[in-house]
């Protein structure tokens, strides 16, 4: 695996850890970072040894937003290509074949909040701040914020955050369901690893299909979602992991899932 200019990658104990690494601009997203992230995700996707992924921006900031210096001089067609790339990469995370945990320190604003929304589970340090302040720049959230935020926190809070552009602290983010846990900054990565290890110990095939059911249901009717769930549930009874999981339960031991 090659070294990346804007990312740091670690792999330990069946866990992958991606750290965004543009500290001089507070991890602001640009095309180069997004392309690197897409390439790295493709590599991790094919690595069966990695069963859970942590995405973080380091201990000072998650992502302060898009690179406004870059965007301020760009033409509309260039911006459409940029945001299409953002959609492609964030969708890749949302539909990734392994669970993705966002470990959020400091600011997660604009594109940073949207990146966190694409992850399956979000946990935050007590110094984290969230917002979609694009309205204050004369634009709107473009990397999924107008769609994913309402699905996570409901339309009322999504309207409030997008239309006011206000930034909220971690305690309010927890209250509205934007994150599921708040920890002291010094404990966040330890907790992220604990949670990732917990997920990594589950059946990879069941985890992947559970995620596909959740995502499918978010974009279909209840009846369609239930039918999809029914078919996936039955399909899992053809897997070795199902047999291992149930046998381990009956034998009162921990299962050893192989993803088959």
| Active site residue ranges | 114, 134
**Helices assigned H by DSSP within the chain:** 31-45, 68-72, 76-94, 111-118, 145-153, 155-164, 170-175, 188-200, 204-218, 222-235, 240-250
Dihedral pair phi/psi, residue 35, rounded to 5°: -65, -40
Q: Residue 33's CB: how many other CB atoms inside 10 A? A: 23
The single residue listed with the structure tokens 């917990």 is 198
Question: Distance between CA 192 and CA 180 in Å, rounded?
Answer: 12
């Amino acid at each position: 695996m090659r070294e990346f200019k804007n990312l740091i990658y670690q792999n330990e104990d069946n866990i992958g850890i991606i750290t965004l690494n543009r500290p001089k601009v507070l991890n602001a997203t640009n095309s180069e970072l997004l392309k690197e992230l897409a390439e790295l995700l493709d590599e991790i996707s094919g690595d069966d040894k990695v069963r859970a992924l942590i995405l973080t921006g380091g201990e000072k900031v998650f992502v302060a937003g898009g690179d406004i210096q870059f965007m301020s001089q760009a033409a509309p067609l260039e911006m459409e290509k940029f945001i299409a790339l953002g959609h492609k990469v964030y969708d890749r995370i949302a539909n990734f074949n392994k669970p993705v945990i966002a470990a959020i320190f400091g600011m997660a604003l604009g594109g940073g909040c949207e990146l966190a929304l694409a992850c399956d589970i979000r946990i935050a340090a007590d110094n984290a701040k969230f917002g979609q302040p694009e309205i204050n720049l004369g634009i709107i959230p473009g990397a999924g914020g107008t769609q994913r935020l309402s699905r996570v926190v409901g339309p009322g809070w999504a309207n409030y955050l997008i239309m006011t552009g206000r930034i909220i602290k971690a305690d309010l983010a927890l209250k509205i369901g934007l994150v599921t846990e708040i920890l002291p900054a010094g404990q966040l990565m330890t907790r992220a690893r604990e949670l990732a290890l917990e997920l990594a110990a589950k059946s990879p095939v069941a985890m992947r299909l559970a995620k596909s059911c959740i995502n499918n249901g978010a974009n279909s009717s209840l009846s369609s979602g239930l039918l999809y769930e029914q078919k996936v549930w039955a399909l899992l009874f053809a897997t070795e992991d199902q047999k291992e999981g149930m046998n381990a339960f009956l034998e009162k031991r921990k299962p050893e899932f192989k993803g088959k």
